[in-house]
């Protein structure tokens, strides 16, 4: 989208339309392809039995956050791409492998550790943060996500 038509108006209805149009573009260009991909990957993992395997292997670690083992697939995918992680969460929810409390616990973690691979280039590379500290920042993000899941667990229990 070009910036030429940006905010020529002060009419709140027109401004809403501009935003809603952005939302539609994001939904069509980012969300839908990712969700379709996530559904297909989830189906492949299911057919191969890998989903169950990951679920069993990680279920002890995930109990710390009172999440089922399959939640690890959301986190691993989110690390590569927040939209793909969201897609996996949506797909697992549709297959009743995650419930609404699980989704709520995972939501902040998806974005706190989300798209790290992509943002290495787009953020750390662009801002010229010395490479020596990239691992530190990455570990920090994962710690942030872990703490956030623990806090969400507490908030939900309230």
Partner 1 sequence: MPSNSDESNKVPIKIGMKAYLSLIIAILFFSGLFLNVDGMKWLGAFDFTTLGGSFGTMQNPAKNTFVGEAGISAKAGFLFALSLVPTVMLALGVLEIFTHYGAIRAAHKLLTPLLKPILGLPGLTGLALITDLQSTDAGAALTKELYDEKVIAKKELIIMGAWQYSGAGLINNYFAIGSALFAWLTVPVVIPLILMFIMKFVGAIFVRIALTTFYKRDFTNE
Per CB under 8 A, the list member of 51, 62, 75, 112 interacting with partner 1 is 112
Helices vs strands, H then E, count in the chain: 9, 0
Binder of partner 1 out of 43, 50, 117, 131 (CB under 8 A) = 43
CA distance 31 to 84: 8
104 binds partner 1 (CB under 8 A): yes
Of the pair 16, 53, the CB lying nearest partner 1 is at 16
Minimum CB distance to partner 1, residue 9 (Å): 8
User: Concatenated DSSP letters for 105-123?
Assistant: HHHHHHHHSTTHHHHIIII
Q: Which of 5, 16, 56, 57 binds partner 1 (CB under 8 A)?
A: 16
- Going by C-alpha positions, the residue among 36, 158, 156, 142 that lies closest to residue 79 is 142
| Interface of this chain with partner 1, residues 48 to 77, rule: CB under 8 A | none
Q: Decide if 55 contacts 68 (C-beta within 8 A).
A: yes
Contact with partner 1 (CB under 8 A): which of 4, 5, 31, 92? 31
Residue 112 tokens read as 């706190």
Closest distance to partner 1 from the beta carbon of 113 (Å): 7
């Amino acid at each position: 989208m070009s910036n030429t038509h940006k905010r020529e108006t002060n009419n709140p209805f027109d401004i809403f339309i501009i935003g809603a149009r952005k939302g539609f573009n994001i939904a069509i260009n980012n969300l839908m392809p990712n969700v379709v991909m996530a559904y297909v990957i989830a189906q492949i993992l299911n057919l191969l039995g890998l989903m169950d395997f990951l679920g069993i292997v990680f279920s002890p670690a995930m109990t710390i956050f009172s999440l089922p083992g399959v939640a690890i697939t959301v986190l691993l995918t989110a690390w590569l791409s927040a939209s793909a992680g969201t897609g996996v969460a949506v797909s697992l929810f549709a297959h009743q492998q995650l419930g609404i409390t699980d989704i709520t616990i995972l939501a902040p973690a998806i974005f706190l550790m989300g798209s790290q691979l992509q943002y290495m280039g787009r953020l750390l590379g662009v801002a010229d943060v010395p490479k020596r500290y990239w691992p530190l920042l990455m570990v920090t993000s994962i710690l942030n996500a872990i703490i956030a899941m623990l806090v969400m667990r507490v908030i939900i229990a309230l």
